[in-house]
Amino acid sequence: MRFLTISFYSGIVLLILCILVLVSPLRDRFDIALRPTEITTVIHYRNGDKQYLDYTLRLRSAFTNTWYVVVGYFGAKQWDQAQSLAKAYQQKGFKAAAVDTNSGEFPNFDRGVVMVVIGPGSKVQANSLLKKIPVLGGKPYIQQAAKA
């Protein structure tokens, strides 16, 4: 009986700690710690040759806000048009940016294109923002950049 009581109270304490982390400034520190990091792996062969493999290491957690409002979708060679659209949204007070979807930070986005996005945020924040955004390009929609 004592073990169950101790387990129950331990679970309650852990739940409260998780809630406190989510609503405190510590959440931002977790987000910074989980940003993608470039790493290189070296394979050494018996004959003395070396092969270098570059990777982007991504750690994901429930603390990471990975939802964006996509307000523009352009071909890879249309970077200037994407930048113009991003500036138009910035002038209206939105935190817009043109992003290269090949960068590794957006594994769920289509590859080889440039998107103009506003975010990141939670899914609820993105849906709320979607209702407030004026249409300056194509029809805005939300998309998750990476699954947690």
Could you report the per-residue pLDDT of 6-48, keeping only the tens digit for each?
667 777 877 776 676 666 555 555 555 556 777 788 888 889 8
pTM score of the predicted model? 0.57
Print the domain residue range for 92: 67-144
Q: How many domains are contained in the chain?
A: 2
Let me know if residue 23 belongs to a domain.
Answer: yes
Separation between Cα atoms, residue 20 and residue 147, nearest integer Å: 23
Q: Tell me if 44 is assigned to some domain.
A: no
We report the CATH number of the domain holding residue 72 as: 3.30.70
Residues 81 and 127 in one domain: yes
Residue 57 domain flag: no
Considering the domain architecture, whether residues 28 and 90 belong to the same structural domain is answered as no
